[in-house]
Structure 1
Amino acid sequence: MSTKPRELHKTVWDRSTIWAMLRNPAYRGQAAFGKTMTDERHGAPTRTTRARGERQGRRLTRHDQPAEHWTLIAVPALISEETFELAQARLVENARFSRRNTKQLTLLQGVLVCRECGYSCYRTSTRTTNKRISYYRCIGQDGWRHVGGRVCQSRPVRADELDTLVWGEVRQLLEDPALVRVEIDRRLAALRTEHPAARRRETLERDLTRADAAIARLIEAYQEQLISLEELRARTPTLRKRQTTLRAQLDTLDAELHDAETYLQLADTLEGFLGRLTDGLDQLDIAEQQRTLRLVVREVLIGGDDDKITIRHSIPAPTGPDDPNYLLRGSSHGSASRCPTRRPGSASWSVSLAAPWATRTPPPSSWKPRTRPT
């Protein structure tokens, strides 16, 4: 076996490579076997696939195993046990005091998404002569994160002004629960009768059982020499393909049923939630505002040439009047609210705030996204 290492022709060490080396017990003389396990499960959905209404299919995924499940093999040590333990302690300390740890909460942390590239936005700040100013910046703007450099040309947005604007719209919605209650009652009645996906799922399960049984009978017939190997190879692919198709359809229906169940739970939670918030919105601190917003808001989209803000919430929007300022206007009413569209099978809807100032006092001119101060 050749001992020559594989050449990757890279000019720098990847952070993940350094991180793996620091945690590898083989350097202290104990190579570990069985540190990970592989199983088949649904892949984690990305923002781009979720926006297209797609669902990640089944695939083999690798997961870390607890250290007590490892099999340790003695190998020549390159560093001492003390040095290795010092490195582990430093990793723990770095994780605790890392700059990535949230020291200052922001309202839209975790829900703000760039419409231009689909990446999340994070909080950053810059110091002026008198104070520190916080901004929301798209991950796609950071050239060091991407192999080919920055992938997004959107500009940072003032965090305080955007937080105030979005919280004002969410608060206006929550302070008038009648706008939400009527549509929730109507959809709950439809969901609680009998979801059509449930009946469809029973049919697919029966078909999948038949396909599994047919494959089992073919294998049994071959084992008993009732059919030849050529016949088995000729008939099995068709049944395998049908198996795959049925399982994919079942996965789609499971996602739809899960969204319906989540919606029912949301409605039950929202009933008491709206009542509790009636008199307490003015007393909420930033952490409570963040929890409140995350209960009803799925994503907030910013960016693009029109500087439009879109709130995608988990409260269903009824079919409203053709008023550009209608608070719960659905995505099919007016071109201003057509991006992004509703995800199939989801209880969330796109609520556009494209022209929220048509009949109100114009927003401060300083709100418009600007270049990052240097």
Structure 2
Amino acid sequence: METKKRAGTYIRVSSREQATEDKASLEVQQRDCDTYCRRKGYDIVCSPYVDVQSGTDSRKERAAFEQMLEDARKGAFDIIVAWRPDRLFRSLWPAARLKQVMDTTGVDVETVTQPMDKSTLGLWAWVAEREIQNIRERTMMGRESLARAGKFVTGNPPYGYKYDPSIKQLRHDETEHLQVVGIFNWVAQGKSIGSLVTDFNLLGILTRRGKPWTRQQIAKILKNPIYTGRAYWGKRERRNGLVVAKKSVEERILIPVTPVVTEEIFERVQRQLNKNRRISPRNTKAVHILQHLLWCRGCSTSFGARSRNSRYGKPLITPKRYYGCRGMKQSPGAYHCRRPAELNATTLENVVWNEVTQAFAEPQTLLKILRDRNATADEKAGLIRTKLDKAAEQLEKKNLELQQVLTYARQNLLSTEELKPQLAQVREQKQHWEEEVQNLKQKLGSLQADAGNLADAEKLCLSIRERLVDVTPQQKKEFLRLVVERIWVDKSNNLEIEVVIPKLEKQPNDVICETPFSLQGEGEFLWGQMSF
């Protein structure tokens, strides 16, 4: 008497919704597999292996599929029965693993609706993978056409919006919209993200999912340009379903939406976030009065500040503080700005503080530089305006070149290999001229000081002369941020200090000098080198 073959059945659907569909539900697959086994005379010796998971992603293991392969290695059955080949695999990787088990154990595979055996398994895997790629391409083409028509197709709507399926666009959520406006106005007025999160959570204002707010969620809202009316589709370049690169803003498809805040508020918030990041007390554990002011003359990067609280595992009574060149730290071997790479913070701070306070105590040098600067300001401003016009003209040319390259790419006149180097070159040149225009504008603004600044400078120096004694390190730091633009350190540790004479304004509270002044100065001054 011939022994019946032992069979194990495998069924799979991609999602919970498909599990209840009539055309290929789990119940339909199981019924057809049982009928097939009875007709063939197979004995089903185990419960069906069931997966509710997509078969397109070969990087994620399917639990039931893996268990089936393991049982096949143990000899639990002689044959695997599935409804169709694509239920077992949709890419070459799971097909290869299945074939390896078949070769080592002798287990065979049969399918109900389409014939398949060991010899055609590789062909079926290739056909399934091509089908998935075609489906993915058609889906992306459909989404792209909707995006070009101004429809929202980029996933879940951000906080403050809700999706209207009748027009396939976003519109304001009445409650969340007011909260987003408040978030932007709060930060635009100089508040921090941390204080905003604290107030929201204390007031019981929860996120869309009913959970407390975090810093990351607020930061994501503040940095999203969709709130100015600009949503984008196609932010990433994909190949075979995998993200390989991010696209530039010019390459993305713009989807207009109803704005929540103006461009002016959004840009002001971005500047405030950068400022908060720069001056955050979390940057260092100890007070470094020259933090964000020191720059390396060798590599044109800023100095970082750090403190050391222990040595050889033992705590130090007084923390050791240092300033180090970021260029040498981030790109070791590329820059050789100085040896050692770090400078003693206490020594450097004493030198700078003494020089700055001496300059304001005896301001003849500063006033002389200011007079000479005012005398030659018109001539220098004319030269800078000429350079600025030329730089703006070059920037406009690069913008046109960039648009032309992108147009050629959309018309398929450039291949991917030709497009990438051309885009990289044009963008690099465009960035260079943008920075040049910005630098020239800053220089022109610093030269547009009138003779009244001289009187302001004298008044300022007289007002703070008696107040720069017995101040705390934090007060020193705040004062230097007001009157020092940058401090350049060269290879020999010589210092060049750029001083700003601030603009006199109304009296604020808690300042270290009787005559107050704003953070924005009217001019820069450079005096002689000093070494330490």
Q: Structure 2 length as normaliser, TM-score? A: 0.32
Q: Structure 1 length as normaliser, TM-score? A: 0.44
Instruction: Work out which of the two has the higher radius of gyration on C-alpha atoms and give 1 or 2.
Output: 2
Larger relative contact order (CA 8 Å, sep ≥ 6): 1
- Higher percent of residues as strand: 2
